[in-house]
């Protein structure tokens, strides 16, 4: 009945259908997930955990949350899961609190090289609550494991954090675990190892990269990126005693009542992600991302290369544009990206030298390898400015013409 909101929802639906969404942290959940998230479960307060609530009438949401927990554990082959965090940021906050006291030192990837706000940004709670030190990527833009080990011994942190928001390559979690173990032995310390796998969780679930749950003390994630679930957070571990601390850190320390309608959506996505079709989907995401990266490289652009669902395009050296300018130009023709810092960036975060490109959302709608190459050519033509806006829009329309409607997924 609210026509103003209905109008805006319809406009956003149209935008998503018309545009090519290349933001690496976005995806389209299934109709089943969306229906659960809009269900009457949203009316139920359920502070606490299944069968240990502070409210009555929780017998059915207890079953919903238990299903979500068991499916998450099965999907990621671990012994413990907390499905209550409202976001990845809150999952990280709770995980830090469960592992180390306030004021402890955390070592994370420098933000300019692909870290996250909650990994020590000066504007985040993380830097206000903990002391951060950083390691950097190597000259090739990849994790320098030997350099990371040197930094670990120099800084002697209480927690090593891995997992990134703009890193296009595979991560050797097993090697990181061995580095931490050797450090702890040599220094007679207990440095924890935590992984934020928000971006690559779907790749992990599909078995197409190392599972950090096999190596980290705690693994955090979002559920709405490559997992194709609702917006929310997730915490995993194989340490059941640590799980008790995580539970207390989520509720009551960082959150009140859980969002049981969102938890139902998480349960559905965990089931969907356990099926062979999801592994096939993730394989196509990786293929499409590489095809777009390689086509831009063939066209003479400076790209990062990729081994996952995203890559970075250096628009400053490739086109003489900063990231904000490139994001705006592409947005004008219906290609949605975000500006992003690149390794050794010389521009401030408000401008950046690059853009981040991901293919999880486009692949959900049915993008093919040829479409991915066509997207690369469209990006190149747009940023070179040698075709009219109308011509570029027509090219974009031709690419998406065969893709699925976002509400049909």
Active-site pick, 47, 239, 287, 294 = 47
Q: Does residue 335 sit in helix, strand or coil? A: strand
On the 0-12 / 13-18 / 19+ scale of CB atoms within 10 A, 287 is middle
Mean pLDDT of 301-320: 98
Residue 62 CA to residue 46 CA, distance in Å, equals: 8
Looking at the chain, the whole-number percentage of residues with pLDDT higher than 90 is: 96
State the sign of the Cα–Cα–Cα–Cα dihedral 27, 22, 90, 198: positive
C-alpha dist (Å) from residue 201 to 149, 192, 204, 318, 397: 25, 21, 5, 31, 31
| Stretch(es) of the chain classified as CATH 3.40.640.10 | 31-273
Lowest mean pLDDT among 6-15, 92-101, 105-114: 105-114
Q: What is the DSSP letter of 189?
A: -
Residue 122 scores a pLDDT above 90? no
What is the torsion angle, in degrees rounded to the nearest 10, for the CA atoms of residue 86, residue 87, residue 89 and residue 92?
70
User: Is the peptide bond prior to 252 cis by the omega test (within 30 degrees of 0)?
Assistant: yes
Cβ-Cβ contacts under 8 Å for 318 (sequence gap 6 or more) = 300, 301, 302, 383
Asked if pLDDT for residue 344 goes beyond 90, the answer is no
User: Model confidence over 365-389: pLDDT tens digits?
Assistant: 999 999 999 999 999 999 999 899 9
- 374's tokens: 């066509």
Question: In the prediction, which pLDDT does 114 show?
Answer: 85
pLDDT at 117: 86
Decide if pLDDT at 6 tops 90. yes
Chain Cα centroid distance, residue 199: 3
The Cα 159–Cα 143 span in angstroms is: 18
Per-residue pLDDT of 242-290, as tens digits, reads: 999 999 999 999 999 999 999 999 999 999 999 999 999 999 999 999 9
Greatest alpha-carbon pair distance for the chain in Å reads 66
Percentages (nearest 5) of helix, strand, coil residues in the chain: 50, 15, 35
Beta carbons of 221 and 205 less than 8 angstroms apart = no
pLDDT at 16: 97
Angstrom distance (rounded) from CA 211 to CA 214? 6
What CATH class is the domain 31-273?
A: alpha beta
Q: Residue 321 phi/psi, 5° resolution?
A: -115, 150
Active-site residue flag, 151: no
Query: DSSP secondary-structure letter at 406?
Result: G
Angle at CA 52, nearest 5°, toward 264 and 265? 5
Residue in 71, 73, 225, 228 annotated catalytic? 225
- Range of lowest pLDDT (113-127, 142-156, 201-215, 294-308): 113-127
Q: What is the pLDDT of residue 386?
A: 87
| Structure-block tokens of residue 366 | 């049915």
Q: 116 falls in which pLDDT band (50, 70, 90)?
A: confident
- Kindly report, residue by residue over 168-200, the tens digit of the pLDDT: 999 999 999 999 999 999 999 999 999 999 999
Average pLDDT, whole number, for the chain?
Answer: 97
SS3 400: helix
Which of 399, 362, 196 has its CA nearest to residue 288? 362
Residues of the chain with CATH 3.90.1150.10: 281-408
What average pLDDT does range 23-46 have in this prediction? 98
Q: What is the mean pLDDT of residues 301-321?
A: 98
Q: Is 356 a catalytic residue?
A: no
Closest CA to 325 of 286, 355, 300, 305: 355
Q: Is-contact 179 143, C-beta < 8 A?
A: no
Catalytic site includes residue 222:
yes
**Is residue 336 among the annotated active site residues?**
no
Closest C-alpha among 101, 82, 69 to residue 247 = 82
- From the list 209, 220, 222, 363, the catalytic residue is 222
- Of 1.10.10.10, 3.90.1150.10, 3.40.605.10, 3.40.50.1820, the CATH number of 281-408 is 3.90.1150.10
């Amino acid at each position: 009945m609210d026509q103003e909101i209905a109008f805006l929802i319809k406009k956003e639906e149209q935008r998503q259908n018309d545009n090519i969404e290349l933001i690496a942290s976005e995806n389209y959940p299934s109709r089943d997930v969306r229906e659960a998230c809009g269900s009457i479960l949203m009316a139920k307060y359920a502070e606490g955990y299944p069968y240990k609530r502070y409210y009555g009438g929780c017998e059915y949401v207890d079953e919903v949350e238990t299903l979500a927990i068991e499916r998450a554990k099965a999907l990621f082959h671990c012994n413990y899961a907390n499905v209550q965090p409202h976001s990845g940021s809150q999952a990280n906050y709770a995980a830090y609190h469960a592992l180390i006291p306030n004021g402890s030192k955390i070592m994370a990837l420098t933000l300019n090289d692909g870290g996250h706000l909650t990994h020590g940004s000066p504007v985040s709670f993380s830097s206000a609550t903990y002391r951060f030190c950083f390691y950097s990527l190597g000259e090739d833009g990849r994790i320098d494991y030997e350099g990371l080990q040197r930094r670990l011994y120099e800084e002697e942190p209480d927690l090593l954090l891995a997992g990134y928001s703009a890193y296009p390559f595979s991560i050797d979690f097993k090697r990181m675990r061995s580095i931490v173990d050797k450090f702890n032995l040599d220094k007679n310390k207990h440095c924890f190892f935590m992984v934020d796998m928000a971006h690559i969780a779907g790749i992990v679930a599909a078995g197409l990269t190392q599972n950090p749950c096999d190596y980290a003390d705690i693994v955090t994630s979002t559920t709405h990126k490559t997992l194709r679930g609702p917006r929310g957070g997730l915490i995993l571990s194989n340490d059941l005693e640590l799980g008790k601390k995580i539970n207390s850190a989520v509720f009551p320390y960082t959150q009140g009542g859980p969002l049981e309608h969102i938890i139902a959506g998480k349960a559905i996505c965990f089931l969907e992600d356990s099926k062979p079709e999801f592994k096939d989907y993730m394989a196509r995401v990786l293929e499409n991302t590489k095809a777009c990266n390689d086509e831009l490289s063939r066209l003479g652009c400076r790209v990062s290369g990729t081994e996952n669902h995203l890559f970075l395009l250096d628009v400053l050296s490739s086109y003489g544009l900063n990231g904000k300018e490139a994001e705006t130009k592409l947005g004008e023709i219906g290609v949605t990206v975000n500006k992003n810092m690149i390794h050794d960036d010389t521009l401030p975060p408000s401008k950046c030298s690059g853009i981040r490109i991901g293919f999880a959302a486009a692949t959900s709608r049915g993008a093919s390898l040829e479409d991915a190459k066509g997207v690369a050519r469209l990006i190149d033509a747009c940023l070179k400015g040698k075709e009219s806006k109308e011509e570029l829009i027509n090219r974009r329309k031709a690419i998406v013409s065969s893709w699925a409607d976002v509400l049909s997924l």
